[in-house]
């Protein structure tokens, strides 16, 4: 049986208040566990705090004026410019009782273990950010209704979650799962009631024309990442892809582009 309990922030790479954890698949106001990053045990600087809160406030103002009830919200936590990418991480932001909350998948302090969390906009941007900007797409009205219905039912919002975390997980396998992949597969399960597993979510996404991003990562770089980072693995990628140095994964850019092409959302909106 799932139950709520209070967990100490000391067990996660946190910089704010305590979190609530729901069973083994945590679904709660989140700590500062950083998706795919190592844990740096140092406090935020005053400048980082001010920038993060300012970005949160501006994001709230834009979301309030949009009239949306749920959006796919992205932040820039990593420098991915070498791969031609901008945003690094997304979560589903939704409005509840006048407040915006973000449900998302995060891994524990650079490890290969992840959970689902809910946090406010302030905490979402209180990260060691690479750039203090945000992007979001507003789903079509019917898709928003379907997402809100899913988010409000904890059994459904956790259905697509796999705790084994891999920052570069293969989009068409279920051994691992990264944060953006969970958000995308959750979208599939919200839209189509027949999607009840990760396998069926991936089949639905293929059918609807989703295409992941292909990153060019050489063998030496892959070896270095695998040796030094517990949250990066390549053994779920097809061997032909690895031999060609082509690593496929789910990126924010690929989700945003596909949602617009599939007419599931409007264009990307930015906050600076």
| Residue ranges covered by each domain of the chain | 4-271
Kindly report the pTM of this predicted structure: 0.85
Helix residue spans in 152-231 (DSSP H): 154-157, 179-191, 198-207, 219-228
- pLDDT digits over 99-139, tens only? 999 999 999 877 899 999 999 999 999 876 889 999 999 99
Higher local confidence (pLDDT), 33 or 55: 55
Could you give the angle at the alpha carbon of 79 between the alpha carbons of 129 and 139, nearest 5°? 75
The confidence band for 1, taking pLDDT boundaries of 50, 70 and 90, is: very low
Higher local confidence (pLDDT), 13 or 29: 29
Block residue for tokens 């031609």: 84
Mean pLDDT of 218-229: 60
Residue by residue, DSSP assigns 45-64 as PHHHHHHHHHHHHHHHHHHH
Higher local confidence (pLDDT), 186 or 230: 186
Longest Cα pair distance anywhere in the chain, in angstroms? 51
Which pLDDT score, from 0 to 100, does residue 20 have? 30
- pLDDT digits over 72-104, tens only? 999 998 889 888 999 999 999 999 999 999 999
Structure tokens at 202: 């991936």
Mean pLDDT of 184-189: 98
Radius of gyration of the chain (CA): 17
Q: Which CATH number fits domain 4-271: 3.40.630.30, 3.30.70.260, 3.90.1720.10, 1.10.10.10?
A: 3.90.1720.10
CA distance 40 to 38: 6
- pLDDT digits over 154-186, tens only? 899 999 999 999 999 999 999 999 999 999 999
């Amino acid at each position: 049986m799932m139950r709520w309990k209070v967990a100490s922030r000391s067990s996660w790479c946190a910089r704010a208040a305590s979190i609530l954890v729901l069973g083994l698949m945590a679904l709660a106001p989140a700590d500062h566990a950083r998706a795919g990053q190592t844990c740096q045990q140092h406090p935020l600087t005053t400048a980082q705090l001010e920038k993060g809160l300012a970005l949160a406030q501006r994001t709230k103002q834009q979301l309030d004026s949009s009239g949306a009830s749920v959006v796919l919200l992205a932040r820039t936590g990593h420098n991915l410019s070498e791969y031609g990418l901008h945003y690094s991480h997304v979560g589903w932001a939704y409005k509840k009782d006048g407040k915006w909350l973000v449900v998302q998948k995060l891994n524990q302090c650079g490890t290969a273990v992840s959970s689902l969390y809910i946090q406010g906009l302030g905490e979402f941007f209180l990260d060691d950010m690479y750039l203090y900007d945000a992007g979001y797409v507003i789903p079509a009205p019917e898709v928003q209704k379907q997402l809100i219905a899913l988010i409000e039912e904890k059994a459904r919002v956790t259905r697509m979650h796999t705790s084994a975390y891999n920052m570069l997980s293969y989009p068409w396998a279920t051994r691992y799962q990264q944060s953006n992949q969970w958000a995308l597969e959750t979208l599939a399960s919200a839209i189509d009631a027949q999607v009840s597993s990760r396998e069926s979510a991936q089949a639905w996404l293929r059918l609807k024309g989703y295409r992941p991003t292909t990153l060019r990562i050489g063998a030496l770089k892959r070896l270095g990442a695998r040796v030094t980072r517990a949250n990066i693995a390549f053994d779920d990628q097809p061997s032909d892809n690895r031999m060609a140095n082509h690593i496929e994964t789910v990126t924010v850019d690929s989700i945003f582009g596909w949602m617009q092409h599939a007419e599931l959302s409007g264009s990307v909106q930015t906050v600076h």
